[in-house]
Structure 1
Amino acid sequence: MVHAILSPAADKPAHVPDALVYDFDIHADPGLLTDPHARILDLVHNAPPVFWTPRNGGGWVALSHAANYEASRDTEVFSSEFVPQAQMKAMLASLPPGAPHIPQPIPITLDPPEHTKYRQPLQKVFSPKTIAALKDGIRELAGELIDAIRPQGGCEYMAAVAEPLPVQVFLKMLGLPLDRLPEYRAIVKEHMEAIDSDRAGAMRRLQTIAAAMRDTMLDRKDNPQDDIISMLWKLEIDGQPTTLADMENYGVLLFIAGLDTVMNGIGLAMRGLALDPALQAKLRADPKLVAEASEEMLRRYTFTVPMRVIRKETVLAGARMMPGDMLKLFLPAADLDAQEFPQPDSYDLDRENNVHIAFGVGPHRCLGSHLARVELQVLYEEMLARLPQFRLDPAHPTVFHGGHVIGIESMHLVWEV
């Protein structure tokens, strides 16, 4: 059992009944850090479909598929604007002349219709057609990374493949220098770990991220290249040319999403494969099954936990919520809900109606889902084609992390040479 320091317990609000209180720390729960999806199955079986936890500042956690689906689609009640836009605009307007811009990860922190205005220009950047054009390059990089480890008979997979593949792909897409990869990853990791414990410091951390990209952004304005930053400069938002402030808003969102999320999905999926030699054999025999296999792996090991703030008094799955309450959309639990997926703990390649919500649902559905799918499928194909049967190394237990993106810190794989 992993031991971590739980966050301080917040006082229970008067409107929260004792029956809906369940003590769970999204960052430090011991079970989550020992085997996250085993612990999530335990939550699904033993906690209320929506519960209030005193940890991480105090707030609601939605487990059931129905509750997550409802809250994800109702942006008027379950808002992504943790600071209302009117308040944010007033604050930015009050800054003294020459004060540094405070970037916002737009459009993820907006609700419709503002959200739609800023998201629409990004659709082209992440369209299936655009991503399909990257597939050969992703496959080449995956092959290089796997060929480098094959003679060793084993590796720490996160550092060797799961991190460099999506991070290098995304840095190239954005147009950011690859030699700064360790610096960029450290900045993102600090931000993700502090989301709940230091909400007040979010603006400072976002300014740090924007500063790390600023030289490249300014250069691309005058010297455009074939990358996302150059493409963003050509966009119009509501009929107006893109400003540096717009660029930094977009940039911090893409930076955080591209440099953290997918590597965790890759790690969890490859662990699932390493634990299932029969599935490996089936996919090696028929690689055409890989696309379906990766969808079921996304469902079985969903990894993102978006946040919402309650704007109007409401009831969700029997839980009465008040304005200002925080809600975590626990998508990993939603995709293990037996009401939606019979025998959810089973990996079933032939599962019917596998409409998982690993990438969310509603207006905020993940913009990068096409890219993530291509990376996962290509990596499955190349791992199975280039390596013999691989398994977890019993000498090095897998180390997990919790948080708003659940994943793996280190995972050692071994195979015969």
Structure 2
Amino acid sequence: MTATLSPAVARPAHVPEAAVYDFDMFADPAYVADPHARVLDLLGKAPGVFWTPRNGGHWMLLSHEAIFNAARDVETFSSELMPLDKVEQMQKMMPRHVPLPLPICVDPPAHMKYRGPLNRVFGPKAINDLKDSIRTLAGELVDAIRPQGACDFMSAVAEPLPVQVFLKMLGLPVARMDDYRALVRAHLSDPTPNPMDSVKKLWRIVDTIKDVLEDRRANPQDDIISLLWQLDIDGKPTTMDDMENYCVVLFVAGLDTVMNGMGHGIRHLAQHPELQQELRANPALIGDATEELLRRYTFTVPPRIIGKDTVFAGLEMKRGERAMLFLPAADLDPKAFSHAERFDLKRENKTHIAFNAGPHRCLGSHLARVELQIVYEEMLKRLPLFRLDPAHPPSFHCGHVVGVDTLHLLWNP
């Protein structure tokens, strides 16, 4: 399906013409056709920071230096896309609580108040305890497709693995996976959402999981929802409003992001049989391969709002304007990585920012790394040499997550 470019809007007077580059991060044809090839093209043609007239007009930060600096400057590049005072006003006008995706929608110091309780849930020790169950599920999924000699990797492995893992962590019924995924896709699909439409989508998510939230308050189990009920937030017991806030962000992030990283990584392996052979012969290298695949195919684009009038990278930016931290470009910036377009298993500088930087660095990075490495290990261990199906080329979607829709593979069973 071909995406439709959004209408172009007029350039603001303070934006110099040289800083304008026409790029639609949701529907640019070359980007949707082959996202990271287009990212490399952008790095060669567009300014390191530019303004695009698409999707209402906004800033795009491409260079590694610009993104790294912006990610740590939360006063200028704020995650509070809607000011909290306006949120409070809206809450008073609504017939029910409007869930906020905390902690990603607030900046320090409030950010840590809400992120702190989650750190123990997603810390390295807690995630390491899940490795055996993740590996068991990955093995079952790969063994199920092996006799077929072909599959769409996304629907057969990449979606069910992290989604089932996360649903079990949260304490939500795996049998409703398809319903949950449909809600997440709807939530992420609109490039310039109307605030009321966004609120309605959040309500639909809450309505779908509210019965589980209420049950775990009365009948705690061994899952994240039960644990969150037992925590204090800023010295106060967790409320239902707090639970709704937490669960909408966990729901959306946990049920979508990692599967796309798996798709990009397995696509690369399918295109490079020599790399498959090297990793099969020496599985100890798969950890390094995982990090290099994350750098080479970074796939998230966090939005920010300009918190105050500023001059950044020599450009005048106004309070209230939107800016996108284009992380896929940062990790392919030739000024930050030598021969950045190459996958280099022996690369010395592996310090990518696929999980962002600064206080909003991805809370689930430990889980993502474990899941990615395990799926590569199990695919290479349990399947013979696999390749792309030339009759069914990969398909992608773009936006705040650069995702893989379909990835058809072939192998000799």
Shift of 1:200: 4.3
Residue 22 of structure 2 aligns to which amino acid in structure 1?
D
CA distance in 2, matches of 1:150, 1:198: 45
CA distance in 1, matches of 2:195, 2:379: 39
SS at match of 1:327: strand
Which residue is equivalent to 1:90? 89
**CA deviation vs aligned residue, 1:56-98 (integer Å, no higher than 9, x gap):** 1210000000010011000011101111112222332x236xx
Asked if 1:12 corresponds to 2:11, the answer is: yes
CA distance in 2, matches of 1:130, 1:52: 42
Residue 133 of structure 1 aligns to which amino acid in structure 2?
D
CA distance in 2, matches of 1:277, 1:166: 25
Cα contact 1:57–1:197 (8 A) shared by 2: no
Q: Which moved more, 1:220-229 or 1:201-210?
A: 201-210
**CA deviation vs aligned residue, 1:25-48 (integer Å, no higher than 9, x gap):** 111100011110000000011000
Pick from 130, 134, 138: which aligns with 1:138? 134
Within-5 A mapping of 1:39-188: 39-92=38-91, 94-95=92-93, 99-188=95-184
CA distance in 2, matches of 1:20, 1:199: 29
SS at match of 2:360: coil
Residue 228 of structure 1 aligns to which amino acid in structure 2?
I
The RMSD of aligned alpha carbons is 1.0
Shift of 1:197: 4.5
CA distance in 2, matches of 1:116, 1:31: 39
Within-5 A mapping of 1:156-305: 156-305=152-301
Shift of 1:270: 0.6
CA distance in 2, matches of 1:83, 1:146: 43
Pick from 364, 367, 370: which aligns with 1:371? 367
Shift of 1:316: 2.2
Task: Report the TM-score when normalising by structure 2.
Answer: 0.98
Shift of 1:404: 0.4
**CA deviation vs aligned residue, 1:161-182 (integer Å, no higher than 9, x gap):** 0000000000000000111111
Cα contact 1:314–1:320 (8 A) shared by 2: yes
Within-5 A mapping of 1:13-32: 13-32=12-31
Shift of 1:318: 2.3
Q: Which moved more, 1:11-20 or 1:221-230?
A: 11-20
Shift of 1:199: 4.6
CA distance in 1, matches of 2:183, 2:9: 28
Cα contact 1:56–1:197 (8 A) shared by 2: no
CA distance in 1, matches of 2:228, 2:190: 28
CA distance in 2, matches of 1:257, 1:195: 17
Residue 406 of structure 1 aligns to which amino acid in structure 2?
V
CA distance in 2, matches of 1:320, 1:330: 19
Shift of 1:3: 3.8
**CA deviation vs aligned residue, 1:199-230 (integer Å, no higher than 9, x gap):** 54211111111111100000000000000000
Shift of 1:195: 4.3
SS at match of 2:93: coil
Cα contact 1:62–1:329 (8 A) shared by 2: yes
CA distance in 1, matches of 2:14, 2:196: 25
**CA deviation vs aligned residue, 1:128-179 (integer Å, no higher than 9, x gap):** 0000000000000000000000000010110000000000000000000111
**CA deviation vs aligned residue, 1:108-133 (integer Å, no higher than 9, x gap):** 00010000110011000101000000
Residue 308 of structure 2 aligns to which amino acid in structure 1?
K
Shift of 1:4: 2.5
Residue 95 of structure 1 aligns to which amino acid in structure 2?
M
CA distance in 2, matches of 1:118, 1:3: 40
Residue 329 of structure 1 aligns to which amino acid in structure 2?
L
Residue 146 of structure 1 aligns to which amino acid in structure 2?
V
Shift of 1:312: 1.0
Cα contact 1:391–1:415 (8 A) shared by 2: yes
Cα contact 2:55–2:191 (8 A) shared by 1: no
CA distance in 1, matches of 2:138, 2:240: 34
CA distance in 2, matches of 1:196, 1:151: 44
Within-5 A mapping of 1:308-347: 308-347=304-343
SS at match of 1:245: helix
CA distance in 2, matches of 1:320, 1:387: 53
CA distance in 2, matches of 1:155, 1:288: 27
Shift of 1:401: 0.6
SS at match of 1:66: helix
Residue 56 of structure 1 aligns to which amino acid in structure 2?
N
CA distance in 1, matches of 2:361, 2:369: 14
Among all aligned residue pairs of Structure 1 and Structure 2, give the percentage whose two residues are the same amino acid. 60
CA distance in 2, matches of 1:310, 1:284: 47
Shift of 1:198: 3.8
CA distance in 2, matches of 1:32, 1:213: 35
SS at match of 2:279: helix
Cα contact 2:80–2:107 (8 A) shared by 1: yes
CA distance in 2, matches of 1:36, 1:200: 31
CA distance in 1, matches of 2:358, 2:191: 23
- Could you say if the C-alpha distance between residues 195 and 244 of structure 1 is closer, same or farther in structure 2, counting changes exceeding 3 Å? farther
CA distance in 2, matches of 1:199, 1:304: 22
Aligned residues: 413
